[in-house]
């Protein structure tokens, strides 16, 4: 089943790439531009067929795709008769639509996938967490062994807690998430708390005294009982209005998560090879495909597997759509930035009396910066690839 999940992700990724390129292709054709090639993959051509002025085909390396639009930059040689159809000669608004079409398709895919999942499956909602495992001891360093000088018997062991216990409340207050349980325990170092748990279908109260531990880098002690907590989700279904609202809420969370990855997780890139790799941080294509495979092999209902997989694909499309709009060459966002820089500069010049043709940006001067970005992205990709192989992120089971 793991292989099935990985293959399903690869297929979904290729379909997303094909639709991305289709966005460029059809908008360019709509505005009368000439597209001579539409290929999925890179490298040697495995199959191709020409229809009209466009060659369609599949190449050997399934790592992307491309559409060849005539005259993407003034540096390109254009065949006689195609001058007016060249991309760079089109109005700024049309060029922007064509360039942004790929990311727009990714956003549409994300919305459609989340909407369908919400409508037919429901909305996952976190509820009372489950104890995934019980440690024999606790120490200031959560990664320390029981042989550490400050290690002591885990309060969870003393209290008789067991893996698979569902924690319903802490001191009579309902616990609705794993984070709420962790925070409640941390807030009571050395103070007794009463956990209301469900075990084998029966509820019972368990008294436990969290040990006071001082985590590395911290100055204040927090409570710890020696357990690992597993998130527990239930599915809620609703009517048409609720479905739309839940879809908007889910997409909002995906957008927030994507923005946080760009703005708050950059520092974690140096930790992807270490024991403290952030599971919510950066992950490469290999890592995402591995997670997809683990979901396919996990012990959960088929509906949960499908919904989880679809949401992963939706989140990936959203991430790629936003990433592709960054104002950096050779990304589409970089080309859009050049288009509007040319437009703004031309308006300023004409306001000063200039009456000639619009002066284009010299892409030769931008080439060193473009190559630097390519090298940076390539290095980033290889760095994540290695981490995904030797120190992969794994889901809880």
How far is the C-alpha of 397 from the C-alpha of 179, rounded, in Å? Answer: 18
How far is the C-alpha of 224 from the C-alpha of 254, rounded, in Å? Answer: 31
How far is the C-alpha of 170 from the C-alpha of 185, rounded, in Å? Answer: 8
Q: Helix, strand or coil for residue 334?
A: helix
SS (H, E, C) 44-69: EEEEEEEECCEEEEEEEEEEEEEEEE
How far is the C-alpha of 48 from the C-alpha of 39, rounded, in Å? Answer: 8
Catalytic residues: 21
| Residue 46 φ then ψ, to 5° | -90, -35
| ∠ CA 186-187-189, rounded to 5° | 75
Question: Which has the closest alpha carbon to 108: 367, 325, 326, 318?
Answer: 318
């Amino acid at each position: 089943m793991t292989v099935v999940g990985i293959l399903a992700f690869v297929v979904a990724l290729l379909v997303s790439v094909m639709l991305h390129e289709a966005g460029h292709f059809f908008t360019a054709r709509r505005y009368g531009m000439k597209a001579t090639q539409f290929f999925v993959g890179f490298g040697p051509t495995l199959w191709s067929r020409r229809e009209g002025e466009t060659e369609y085909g599949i190449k050997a390396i399934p790592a992307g795709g491309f559409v060849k639009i005539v005259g993407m930059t003034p540096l390109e040689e254009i065949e006689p008769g195609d001058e007016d159809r060249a991309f760079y000669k089109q109005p700024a608004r049309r060029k922007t639509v064509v360039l942004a079409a790929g990311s727009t398709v990714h956003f549409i895919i994300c919305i459609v996938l989340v909407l369908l999942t919400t409508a037919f499956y429901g909305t996952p909602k976190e509820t009372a967490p489950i104890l995934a495992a019980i440690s024999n001891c606790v120490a200031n360093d959560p990664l320390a062994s029981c042989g550490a000088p400050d290690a002591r018997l885990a309060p969870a062991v003393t209290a008789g807690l067991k893996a698979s216990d569902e924690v319903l409340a802490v001191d009579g207050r309902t616990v609705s998430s794993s984070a709420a349980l962790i925070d409640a325990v941390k807030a009571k170092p050395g103070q007794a708390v009463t956990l209301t748990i469900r075990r084998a279908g029966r509820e019972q109260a368990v008294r436990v005294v969290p040990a006071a531990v001082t985590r590395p880098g911290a100055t204040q002690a927090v409570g710890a009982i020696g357990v690992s907590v597993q998130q527990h989700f239930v599915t809620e279904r609703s009517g048409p209005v609720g479905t739309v609202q839940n879809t908007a809420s889910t997409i909002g969370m995906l957008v927030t998560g994507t923005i946080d990855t760009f703005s708050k997780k950059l520092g974690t890139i140096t930790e992807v090879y270490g024991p403290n790799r952030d599971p919510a941080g950066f992950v490469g294509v290999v890592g995402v495909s591995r997670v997809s495979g683990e979901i396919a092999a996990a012990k959960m209902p088929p509906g949960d597997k499908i919904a989880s997989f679809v949401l992963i694909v939706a989140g990936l499309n959203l991430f790629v759509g936003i990433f592709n709009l960054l104002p950096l060459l050779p990304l589409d966002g970089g080309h859009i930035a050049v288009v509007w820089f040319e437009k703004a500069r031309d308006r300023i010049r004409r306001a000063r009396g200039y009456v000639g043709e619009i002066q284009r940006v010299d892409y030769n001067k931008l080439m060193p910066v473009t190559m630097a970005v390519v090298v940076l992205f390539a290095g980033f990709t290889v760095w994540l690839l290695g981490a995904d192989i030797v120190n992969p992120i794994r889901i809880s089971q």
